[in-house]
Amino acid sequence: MKDKLKIIWNGIVPSNPVLILAIGLCSVVAVTNFVKNALLMSFAFSFVLILSEVIVSSIRKWIPDEIRVPIFVVVIATFTTIAALLSHAYFPSVYDAIKLYILLVVVNCIIIGRAEAFAYKNGVFDSLLDGIGMSLGYSWVIITIAIIRELFGNGTIANIRVMPHIYQPALIMVLPPAGFLVLGVLVGWLEWSLKRKKEAKK
Amino acid sequence: MSYLTDLLKIFIASMVVNNIILMQFLGLCSYIGLTDNMSASIGMGYAVTFVTVLAAAVTWIIDHWILIPFNLQPFLEIVSFILVIGSLVSLVEIYLKKMSPNLYKAMGIYLPLIATNCLILGVTFVISMHKLDFIQALVEAIGTALGYFMAMLILAGIRERLRDSELPEFFQGKAIAYIVSGIAALAFMGFQGMIK
pLDDT digits (tens, 9 = 90+) for B20-40: 888 888 888 778 777 777 887
Nearest to A184 among B26, B83, B176 (CB): B176
Q: With CB atoms and an 8 Å threshold, state whether B125 touches A180.
A: no
pLDDT at A156: 82
User: What is the mean predicted confidence (pLDDT) over B89-102?
Assistant: 82
Distance from CA of A113 to the nearest CA of B (A): 11
pLDDT at A89: 93
pLDDT band at B91 (very low <50, low <70, confident <90, very high): confident
Q: Kindly tell me if the per-residue pLDDT of A43 is higher than 90.
A: yes
User: What is the mean predicted confidence (pLDDT) over B105-121?
Assistant: 73
Residue B3 resides in a domain = no
SS3 B73: helix
Residues of A in contact with B117 (CB under 8 A): 107
- The ipTM of this complex is 0.80
Distance from CA of A176 to the nearest CA of B (A): 6
Number of domains in chain B: 1
Residue type, B152: M
Residue B49 CB contacts under 8 Å (≥ 6 apart), including other chains: B142, B145, B146, B148, B149
Residue B12 resides in a domain = no
C-alpha separations of A8 from A26, A124, A131, A148 in Å = 24, 14, 8, 25
Distance CA B155, CA B157 (A): 5
Distance CA B93, CA A145 (A): 39
Note down the domain range covering B103: 20-191
Residue B83 resides in a domain = yes
* pTM attached to this predicted model: 0.85
Distance from CA of A95 to the nearest CA of B (A): 14
Which among B191, B66, B50, B81 has a CA at the least distance from the CA of A100? Answer: B81
Residue A83, phi then psi, degrees to nearest 5: -65, -40
Residue B196 resides in a domain = no
Q: Kindly tell me if the per-residue pLDDT of B109 is higher than 80.
A: no
Q: Kindly tell me if the per-residue pLDDT of A49 is higher than 90.
A: yes
Q: Kindly tell me if the per-residue pLDDT of B177 is higher than 90.
A: no
pLDDT band at A132 (very low <50, low <70, confident <90, very high): very high
Residue B2 resides in a domain = no
Distance CA A111, CA B165 (A): 36
Residues of A in contact with B35 (CB under 8 A): none
Give the residue on B whose Cα is nearest the Cα of A23: B29
Residue B142 resides in a domain = yes
Distance CA A19, CA A13 (A): 9
